[in-house]
């Protein structure tokens, strides 16, 4: 059988279904570990832009398989946090967000702090000049209940703003840093090398998606320290107001994980958070890859 025959079969079998939510889609009937033909890639690419979060259910992949899958959504980049890197493939991290039963001891404290940080609404790696484009998570172990990942659609949230609020936000810029006093939970102890790699950066508060051309709020409750040019109190009030706005039910999708799921989301038009409500000791282990994005504009 020639390549074109294989492609035609693959293109006919992919099934993309909108989730029962304001955004998000599931993608089935595609081999996640094998190359995709042009039609399949194009259909999934369109769904990624339109639906922002894609769920690919299936079996377990090894780190190499996850990395190969992730390449369809951009150029994988290595984690800033060296603790999380997998030795042999630095682009693939292993994340453990298991809730531990005992909160004592240095290692547990470190774990608990970084886990709780994921409880806050954020978009991945907004503290660098070119924040992550896509994030790919692959569920290795999931808790018996709870532990969902919540997403909010910052594009729909921007679109729904009243015109005077859009005008108010136009041209405003925000200072993003690895750490900010505004974060509910501060980062665990970091090495000097990690600190040196992460100076503050300025991004627009409303960004334009480089592929769809649509505008979205660009927030990060763990990373945005202040809005450029505003007094602290006014900046805090506006950031709090926007954080409350985007987290309305009408902008939210909650993903309840099954083992083997791959989730891909677009950090340019969503935020996410982890729900820390699973039973203590129930393991929640994921592989993660993030891909390189553009400078927001
Ligand atoms: Fe995240």
Give the contacts of 29 (CB within 8 A, at least 6 positions apart).
13, 14, 15
pLDDT tens string 129-176 = 999 999 999 999 999 999 999 999 999 999 999 999 999 999 999 999
Q: How far apart are CA 122 and CA 58, in angstroms?
A: 27
Tokens of 80: 């800033």
Domains and CATH numbers, the chain: 9-291 (3.60.130.10)
Measured in whole angstroms, how far is the alpha carbon of residue 205 from the centre of its chain?
Answer: 18
Between the CA of 288 and the centroid of ligand 1 the distance, in Å, is 9
Residue range 99-112: mean pLDDT, rounded: 61
Q: How far apart are CA 91 and CA 75, in angstroms?
A: 10
Whether 95 has a pLDDT exceeding 80, the answer reads yes
Between the CA of 47 and the centroid of ligand 1 the distance, in Å, is 21
Ion ligand 1: residues, Cβ under 5 Å: 124
Q: What pLDDT sits at residue 283?
A: 93
Q: In what order do the strands lie in the sheet with 173-176?
A: 201-204, 173-176, 224-227
Q: How far apart are CA 286 and CA 262, in angstroms?
A: 9
DSSP E strand stretches across 21-178? 25-28, 53-56, 76-77, 93-96, 134-141, 149-153, 173-176
Between the CA of 84 and the centroid of ligand 1 the distance, in Å, is 13
Whether 127 has a pLDDT exceeding 80, the answer reads yes
Q: Is residue 174 within 8 Å of 202, Cβ to Cβ?
A: yes
What is the DSSP code string of 97-117? -PPPS---SHHHHHHHHHHHH
Between the CA of 225 and the centroid of ligand 1 the distance, in Å, is 17
CA dihedral 224, 205, 169, 175 (to 10 degrees): 40
Residue whose tokens read 């630095």: 90
pLDDT tens string 29-76 = 999 988 999 999 999 999 999 999 999 999 999 999 999 999 999 999
């Amino acid at each position: 059988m020639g390549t074109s025959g294989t492609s035609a079969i693959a293109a006919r079998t992919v099934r993309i279904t909108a989730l029962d939510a304001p955004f998000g889609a599931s993608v089935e009937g595609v081999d996640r570990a094998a190359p995709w033909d042009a039609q399949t890639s194009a259909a999934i690419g369109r769904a990624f832009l339109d639906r922002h979060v894609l769920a690919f259910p299936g079996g377990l992949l090894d780190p190499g398989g996850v990395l190969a899958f992730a390449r369809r959504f951009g150029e994988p980049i290595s984690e800033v946090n060296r603790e999380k890197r997998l030795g042999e493939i630095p682009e693939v991290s292993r994340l453990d967000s298991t809730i531990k039963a005992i909160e004592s001891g240095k290692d547990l404290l470190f774990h608990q702090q970084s886990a709780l940080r994921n409880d806050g609404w954020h978009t991945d790696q907004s503290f660098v000049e070119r924040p992550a484009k896509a994030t790919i998570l692959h569920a290795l172990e999931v808790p018996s209940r709870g532990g969902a990942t919540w997403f909010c659609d910052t594009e729909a949230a921007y679109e729904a703003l009243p015109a005077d609020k859009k005008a108010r936000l136009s041209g405003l810029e925000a200072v993003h840093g690895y750490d900010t006093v505004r974060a509910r939970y501060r980062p665990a102890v970091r090495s000097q090398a990690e600190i040196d790699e992460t100076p503050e950066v300025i991004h627009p508060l409303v960004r334009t998606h480089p592929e769809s051309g649509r505008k979205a709020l660009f927030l990060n409750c763990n990373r945005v320290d202040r809005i450029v040019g505003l007094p602290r109190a006014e900046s805090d009030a506006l950031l709090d107001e926007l954080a409350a706005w985007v987290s309305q039910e009408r902008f939210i999708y909650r993903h309840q994980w099954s083992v083997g799921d791959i989730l891909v989301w677009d950090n340019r038009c969503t935020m996410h958070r982890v729900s820390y409500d699973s039973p203590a000791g129930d393991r929640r282990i994921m592989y993660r890859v993030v891909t390189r994005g553009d400078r927001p504009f």
